[in-house]
């Protein structure tokens, strides 16, 4: 039984559709990750859930009751803003106590609860610091404590760690997830970063151009990206679109990198002339030095970029009018993988998957 469900939400600003018929739901205690590029409508969706913006159409219900038209302060939700919006005229204590004081808790209880929260975010001893004296990471934790203090029934976090450096972000990610799970609050976490989504989310919601494209656990999404957009968001780099030029046991698909032959997977309904989206796993691409011309299904290309990734190199190879990325172990690459080097790529058809939807 979902605790939060939104159905058919629409919102337009100045004739531009920002949220375009979005429906989803969240289970109690679940941590949903809303994933998508800037401007895809994530923030607007959160603002509608919080009651800060009114949807043009659609309904939201929480705990079995419709909350449409309810003012933000009556919803009992929490929202952690991207810019945190800490009150600059109050100290850390004042910020965290704000929501509790709004509930008219007695001072002694406010005191206890604030210190509980300071302990939870590992900031005991900071109660009387001024906001402008805090570092970025400290501010994030105060903002988190402030949103958790009134025990919101639903907590929304809008790219809360966006402005931090990588190391701090990673340590805070696990910390935030631990805290949210400890508290057991149903949460929606907005991010555009795949790794952050993997760390945080029980379930991921992919949004693009105001639409939800796919919903599922991280594992489900990686196993079956709904379309090229989801695949790219998940970090897959070899996403190609092509035209089916010959149907049959073996499909021949014309893409920017050339013509690929792929055994027809069972259940794929298609016909000649159809546009298909392919996902090629880097693991399925082997590379060898160019000796003579490419034969059969192998492709000839030029290395245009080489990025060191620790144990391995990521190589970008220009093939025909397109590009493919492949991975090569660091010690095998010494002679071969120089930029401008001509190489031959062989693609194992078993590592090619077909995605639904467009590129």
Partner 1 sequence: MTAGRLLLLIPLAYLAIFFLYPLFSILERSLGGESGYGLEPFRVLLNDPYYLGRIWFTIWQAVVSTLLTLVVGLPAAFLFARYEFPGKSLLKAVSTLPFVMPTIVVAMGFTALFGSQGIVNSALMTVFSLDDPPVRITNTLTIIFMAHAFYNYAIIVRIVSALWSNLDPKLEHSAKVLGAGPIRTFYHVTLPLLLPAIISASLLAFAFSFTSFGVVLILGGPQFSTLEVSIYELTAKLFRLPLAGALAVIQLAFTYLFLLLYSRFQEQSVVPVNLMPQEATSRRAKSWRDKVFVLGMVLVLLTMLSPLIALVVRWITLDGGFGTAQMANLFSDERGSYFHLSPVTIIWNSLRFALMTVVISLVIGTIISYFISNSKRHWRTIADALVMLPLGVSAVTLGFGYIIALGRPPLDIRGSWIILVIAHSLVAYPFVIRSLMPVLKGMNPNLKEAAALLGATPARVFLLVELPLIAPALLVGATFAFAISMGEFGASLILVRSEFTTMPVAIFRFLGLPGEANLGMALGMSCLLMAVVALGFVAIERFRYKGVGGF
Residue 162 lies near partner 1 (rule: CB under 8 A): no
| Binding residue (CB under 8 A) for partner 1 from 37, 39, 66, 85 | 85
Which of residues 47 and 353 has its CB atom nearest to partner 1 in the complex?
47
Residues in the chain: 359
Residue 52 C-beta: closest distance to partner 1, Å? 5
**From the CB of 333, what's the least distance to partner 1, in Å?**
39
247: how many CB neighbours lie within 10 A of its CB? 14
When asked if residue 330 is in the footprint of partner 1 (CB under 8 A), the reply is no
Q: Report in angstroms how near the CB of residue 351 gets to partner 1 at its nearest.
A: 46
Long-range pairs for 84-87 at CB < 8 Å and ≥24 separation?
A: 84/139, 84/140, 84/142, 84/143, 84/160, 85/143, 86/131, 86/139, 86/142, 86/143, 86/146, 87/131
Q: How far is the CB of 77 from partner 1 (least distance, A)?
A: 6
Is residue 79 within the footprint of partner 1 (CB under 8 A)?
yes
Q: Total binding residues for partner 1 by CB under 8 A?
A: 26
> Which of 318, 342, 338 minimizes the C-alpha distance to 328?
338
Identify the residue among 69, 88, 267, 296 touching partner 1 (CB under 8 A). Answer: 88
Q: Give the binding range for partner 1 (CB under 8 A) out of 98-106, 171-179, 266-274, 344-352.
A: 98-106
**Whole-number Å distance between alpha carbons of 347 and 337:** 18
- The binder of partner 1 chosen from 37, 52, 307, 348 (CB under 8 A): 52
**Contact pick of 8, 37, 72, 125 for partner 1 (by CB under 8 A):** 72
Q: Per CB under 8 A, does 107 bind partner 1?
A: no
Q: Does 50 bind partner 1 (CB under 8 A)?
A: yes
Binding window for partner 1 (CB under 8 A); candidates: 71-79, 115-123, 181-189, 209-217: 71-79
In the complex, minimum distance from the CB of residue 204 to partner 1, in angstroms, rounded to a whole number: 25
Question: Do the Cβ atoms of 252 and 264 come closer than 8 Å?
Answer: no
Minimum distance between the CB of residue 85 and partner 1, rounded to whole angstroms? 4
- CB atoms under 10 Å from CB of 203, counted, come to 18
Binding map of partner 1 across residues 135-154, x = CB under 8 A, - = no contact: -----------xx-xx----
Q: How far apart are CA 307 and CA 162, in angstroms?
A: 25
* Residues 4, 66: Cα–Cα separation, whole Å: 10
211 and 235 in contact (C-beta within 8 Å)? no
Angle between helix axes 92-102 and 136-148 (nearest 10 degrees) is 20
Closest separation in Å from C-beta 100 to partner 1: 9
CB of 83 or CB of 272, closer to partner 1: 83
Instruction: Find the DSSP H helices in the chain.
Output: 42-50, 72-75, 92-102, 107-120, 136-148, 166-183, 194-200, 218-223, 228-233
Cα dihedral 286, 289, 294, 297 in deg (nearest 10): 0
- Report the residue from 102, 107, 256, 289 that binds partner 1 according to the rule CB under 8 A: 102
Rounded to whole angstroms, how far apart are CA atoms 317 and 324?
Answer: 5
Stretch that binds partner 1, among 34-42, 77-85, 110-118, 218-226 (CB under 8 A): 77-85
Rounded to a whole number of angstroms, the minimum distance from the CB of residue 81 to partner 1 is 5
The answer to whether residue 292 forms part of the interface with partner 1 (CB under 8 A) is no
Task: Report the 3 state secondary structure along 166-214.
Answer: HHHHHHHHHHHHHHHHHHCCEEEEEECCHHHHHHHCCEEEEEECCEEEE
Q: Which of 1, 71, 329, 334 binds partner 1 (CB under 8 A)?
A: 71
Stretch that binds partner 1, among 56-64, 82-90, 212-220, 270-278 (CB under 8 A): 82-90
The dihedral through the CA atoms of 238, 239, 244, 245 has a sign that is: negative
Q: Give every CB contact of residue 164 below 8 A, 6+ residues apart in sequence.
A: 136, 137, 140, 172
Binding site for partner 1 (CB under 8 A): 50, 52, 71-73, 75-79, 81, 83, 85, 87-89, 98-99, 102-103, 130, 132, 146-147, 149-150
């Amino acid at each position: 039984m979902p605790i939060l469900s939104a159905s058919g939400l629409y919102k337009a600003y100045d004739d531009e559709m920002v949220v375009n018929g979005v429906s989803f739901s969240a289970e109690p205690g679940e941590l949903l990750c809303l994933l998508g590029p800037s401007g895809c409508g994530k923030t607007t969706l959160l603002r509608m859930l919080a009651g800060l913006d009114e949807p043009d159409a659609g309904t939201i219900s929480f705990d079995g009751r419709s909350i449409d038209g309810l003012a933000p302060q009556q919803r009992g939700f929490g929202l952690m803003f991207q810019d945190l919006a800490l009150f600059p005229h109050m100290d850390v204590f004042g910020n965290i106590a704000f929501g509790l004081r709004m509930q008219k808790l007695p001072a002694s209880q406010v005191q206890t609860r604030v210190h509980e929260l300071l302990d939870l975010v590992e900031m005991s001893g900071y109660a009387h610091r001024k906001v402008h004296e805090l570092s970025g990471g400290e501010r994030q934790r105060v903002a988190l404590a402030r949103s958790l203090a009134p025990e919101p029934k639903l907590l929304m976090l809008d790219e809360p760690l966006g402005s931090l450096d990588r190391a701090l972000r990673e340590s805070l990610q696990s910390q935030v997830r631990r805290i949210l799970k400890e508290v057991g609050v149903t949460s929606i976490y907005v991010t555009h970063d795949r790794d952050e989504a993997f760390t945080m989310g029980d379930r991921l919601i992919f949004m693009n151009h105001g639409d939800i494209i796919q919903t599922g656990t991280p594992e489900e999404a990686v196993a079956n990206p709904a379309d090229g957009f989801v695949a790219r968001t998940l970090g897959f780099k070899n996403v190609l679109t092509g035209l089916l030029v010959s149907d049959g046991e073996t499909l021949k698909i014309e893409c920017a990198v050339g013509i690929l032959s792929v055994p027809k997977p069972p259940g794929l309904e298609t016909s000649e002339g159809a546009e298909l989206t392919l996902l090629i796993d880097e693991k399925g691409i082997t590379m060898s030095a160019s000796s003579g011309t490419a034969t059969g299904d192998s492709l000839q290309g030029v290395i245009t970029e080489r990025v060191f990734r620790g144990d391995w190199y990521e190589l970008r190879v220009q093939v025909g009018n397109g590009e493919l990325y492949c991975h090569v172990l660091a010690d095998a690459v010494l002679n071969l993988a120089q930029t401008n080097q001509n190489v031959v790529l062989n693609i194992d058809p078993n590592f090619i998957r077909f995605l639904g939807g467009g590129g």
